[in-house]
Structure 1
């Protein structure tokens, strides 16, 4: 199975104090152990850093710790970069769905999942992805 991990799941998995850690961490471990093929959108690399270094205490992580955590993820999650044309597809998708604003970042992550033909987009925010249309909605799962 090919899983693209959304930023929300990765943050929860990384932070023991996160309320969804116990759901997210075992799903990330599947990729670390090689039981599934795990992917991460390159957009999520920056997003993880931005979020975990500005969270309120006790969740906030120091910049150096964030760098190490992200490097560790890259040991077992394959990064998925997008080309200009793929960003244009994400923008077109947003336009088709009549969506604006920050949802573009979810569309970028979804486009990465489509690029690698992921079976699943694992997220704690399913509505952010299901609103992007059927091709994406059928791939959306929450950690259970």
Structure 2
């Protein structure tokens, strides 16, 4: 797997007026199953974000599902097994990952499980706090290419 797209990239790809829309949309549009992926967990995060934004950016659930459908068509979806989760939690505790950082750890471990060479995110600061096997793969979408 070549590329892993995190939730921040997917949300930016949706909103045309988002400051990171262009590179995020280009990355998603150029993605194909088998060479690009995202975490199953990101689908829930995308849905939650799109349907809870302040108006006028909030979208209805059915609109969010249409976008999620396009993500599912373009990206391979990666989930963690029970054993994967246990290992991720143990590693995160040992590495002092606290609070909401665990959600970035879930995504990072999904990227490792998929064998992604690059993890694309706009949330680089938090991903760089994760173990080096994850942090060494982190790039912003405007660094793609």
Aligned equivalents of 1:4, 1:72: Cα separation in 2: 16
Unaligned 5+ runs, structure 2? none
Match of 1:131 in 2: 129
Is it true that 1:47 corresponds to 2:45 in the alignment?
A: yes
Question: Which 10-residue stretch deviates more, 51-60 or 132-141?
Answer: 51-60
Q: What's the RMSD between the two structures over aligned residues?
A: 1.4
Q: Deviation string for 1:55-97 (max 9, x for gaps)?
A: 1123211110001110111011011011011111221221121
Q: Deviation string for 1:10-29 (max 9, x for gaps)?
A: 00001112121122111112
Which residue of the other structure, out of 38, 45, 65, is the alignment partner of 2:63? 65
TM-score between the two structures when normalised by the length of structure 1: 0.92
| Structure 2 residue matching 1:53: 3-state secondary structure | helix
Confirm or deny: 8 A CA contact 2:28 2:74 kept in the other structure.
no
Confirm or deny: 8 A CA contact 2:40 2:78 kept in the other structure.
yes
Aligned equivalents of 2:55, 2:77: Cα separation in 1: 29
TM-score between the two structures when normalised by the length of structure 2: 0.92
